[in-house]
Amino acid sequence: MRLVVCLKQVPDASEVKIDPIKGTMVRAGVPSIANPYDMHALEEALRLKDKYGARVSILTMGPPQATDVIKRAVSLGADDGVLLSDRAFAGSDTLATSYILAQAIRKMGEEEAIDVVFCGKMAIDGDTAQVGPGIGSRLDCAVTTYVVGVRSLDKDKKTVVVERRLERGVEVVEADMPVLLTVNKEANDIRYAALPALIESIKYEVPVWTAEDVQLDLAQCGLKGSPTQVKKIFPPPQKDIETVMVTDTISDPAQIAKLLVDKIEEAGMLA
């Protein structure tokens, strides 16, 4: 069984600042991390590997230093990985990105057929949640989003049963493999690497594929292949919030609640 996990390197969101004049993200000096959603997708794949046996391969697109996230995945138990890195990919929007990744997954599949492609629900830098389903539709396979767990997998019947978290509850879905799953954060807790695997991952030399290595129509890549472009990024406007300090000496919870409700009513916040 072969599992592929799409793993994106993103700027650490807790450290990103927006240049208020240029309207762009200030990336200089901001550390990079693996997209947290993708790490939960990886963990889900590794759990299937532990349970059923599988080869877990990582696919990343990004600058040369994005090999870091592949090494991290290998330290946790992934078997191998590929970095897609080419200037021709720069400026790709979600449409171009899902095209490039889908083509790369096709190529990975030539070596050993792929049963499940895992993606995170979304990346924390773009928040679009479009690339996962975009890959799935190009690969012409089943797509199941918001996955919070794989219940079971039948290697012979080539089916998988997953739980999807929806607003109204949890939906249990059976899908034929090959399938693409996008995974939510609450799916699992990410493991801690054992030392032997960590050492192997540091030594692991990540193969790098350029546009030439993958069958690509360059018109569909990079800026040329991207119908959408980021015009401006800005932090949400700060709302003026008035803070009212309620001071009283009462200790009875019911009375405190009543006092708060009165104050809220006074402030005209109750419709």
Partner 1 sequence: MAAIEKYDLIVVGAGPAGSAAALVAARAGLRVIMFERGEYPGSKNMFGGVLFGHDINELIPNFWESAPVERALIEERYFLVSGSSATTIALRTKDFAEPPYNGFSVLRARFDKWFAEQAVAAGALLVCETLVESLIMDHGKCVGVKTGRADGSVYADCVIVAEGVNSLLTRDAGIHQEWKKNEVGVGVKELIKMPKDVLENRFNLKGQEGISMRILGLTKGMTGGVFLYTNKETVSLGFVAMIEDLAARGFKPNELMEEIKSNPMVAPFIEGGSTVEYTAHMVPEQGYKSVPPLVHDGLLIAGDAAMISNLLTGEGANLAVTTGRLAGEAVVAAKAAADFSAQGLRSYQDALDASYVMKDLKQFKGFAGYLHGNPDLMELYPQLANDFLKGLLTADGTPRGAKAKALLAEVKKTKSLFGIAKDLWRGWRVIK
Binding stretches for partner 1 (CB under 8 A): 192-200, 202-203
State in angstroms the smallest separation of the CB of 227 from partner 1: 38
Q: With DSSP H G I counted as helix, E B as strand and the rest as coil, what are the percentages for the chain, rounded to 5?
A: 35, 25, 40
State in angstroms the smallest separation of the CB of 4 from partner 1: 21
Residue with tokens 């592949």: 70
Q: Considering beta carbons, is residue 30 or 197 the nearer one to partner 1?
A: 197
Q: Considering beta carbons, is residue 9 or 94 the nearer one to partner 1?
A: 9
Q: Considering beta carbons, is residue 18 or 197 the nearer one to partner 1?
A: 197
Q: Considering beta carbons, is residue 95 or 198 the nearer one to partner 1?
A: 198
Q: How far apart are CA 37 and CA 131, in angstroms?
A: 13
Record the tokens describing residue 222, joined without a space: 């990079």
Q: Considering beta carbons, is residue 90 or 194 the nearer one to partner 1?
A: 194
State in angstroms the smallest separation of the CB of 163 from partner 1: 28
Q: How far apart are CA 138 and CA 5, in angstroms?
A: 16
Q: What angle do CA 145, 146, 150 make, to 5 degrees?
A: 90
State in angstroms the smallest separation of the CB of 31 from partner 1: 8
Half-sphere exposure of 45 (CA within 13 A, CB side): 36
For residue 89, the 8-state DSSP code is G
Q: How far apart are CA 226 and CA 97, in angstroms?
A: 9
State in angstroms the smallest separation of the CB of 193 from partner 1: 7
